[in-house]
Amino acid sequence: MAKIKFGSVEETVVTRDEYPLEKAREILKDEVVAVLGYGVQGPAQSLNMRDNGINVIVGQRKGSPNWDKALADGWVEGETLFTLEEAAERGTVVQYLLSDAGQKAAWSTLSEFLDEGDMLYFSHGFGITYKDQTGILPPPHADVALVAPKGSGTSVRRNFLDGSGINASYAIHQDFTGKAEERTIALGIAIGAGYLFPTTFENEVYSDLTGERGILIGALSGVMEAQYNVLRKNGHSPSEAFNETVEELTQSLIRLVAENGMDWMYANCSTTAQRGALDWHPKFRDAVAPVFEDLYESVKNGEECRVTLEKNGDPNYRVNLDAELKEMHDSEMWQAGIAVRSLRPENWKES
């Protein structure tokens, strides 16, 4: 494992150089990796492992849209595609990649298939950390670990295909075999992680839920909407408001941040932009800090878990979700986005 300086803090990480795919294959050569759930992370992780030569099978509810998606992706019923129960029974590594609400609902059934020495694998610390609410209590005769890619399943697959990979955290909750860590790291390499860094189940879920509700999705969409609305209220056109709020960020500035950091992005903007951003940066930071404090406490005390299980466990969850997403899709801001994206040069058509 490599020691890397992150600012003034030194951390231990696992890279592909020290843990090549050949080593991962050797460790996993006798494993049957059963990926349960073919929704968000399931397709990416299973396809990446399949492409990397790992013995993978998929478990999904038969007749569901995701069953059909698995068939379309080349999984073969009765050979590499099974019901959840059949896959769990066949697997020596059971990747529990159902939704958090789905994991709670299926646990009493699927937990019966964990044999001595099997590994129960998560990509989220939710089920274990909030065990009082989920009821997920693994048997003592199994390894329990997680590998959590720091990105959506779509990005996990895209980055794998372009060779870049996506960073992931890993954690060991229970080491029955004495080999839980090497199995876990091998699985992280097999799904295409760029590098792996250690965490705990608690830290993973606390940071993940805060990040998703905060800057990664909730805060980002919220501040975009706030700025767009102010610009529109002051007479700016939808095109101008959207370009200044979203398009310039996603198509230019965030790419500079990704390349070399926020300071480098600042350095490559106009002096007027630099000065204004430097002056307003602390005002935005201080304004939202109390919101992040409230958010973290809500995650830590289990309130976000309660709301998630209640809402996502509702039989009408999908219908309600579609309605909420449609409202966002139909808003002027994101309709403007459709128009702006259609005018990107790569979408131009010769007349």
CA angle 273, 151, 70 (to 5 degrees): 140
d(CA 317, CA 323): 10
What is the full DSSP assignment across 277-339? HHHHHHHHHHHHHHHHHHHHHHHHTTHHHHHHHHHHTSTTHHHHHHHHHHHHHHSHHHHHHHH
- How many CA atoms, within 13 angstroms, populate the side-chain half-sphere of residue 99? 15
Which member of 124, 141, 173, 281 is catalytic? 124
Judged on CB neighbours under 10 Å (0-12, 13-18, 19+), 46 is buried
| Token output for 69 | 């998606």
**Is the distance from CB of 82 to CB of 58 less than 8 angstroms?**
yes
- Helix (H) / strand (E) containing 5: strand 2-6
Residue 141: active-site member: no
- Measure Cα distances from 187 to 91, 244, 312 in Å: 14, 42, 28
- Active site amino acids: 124
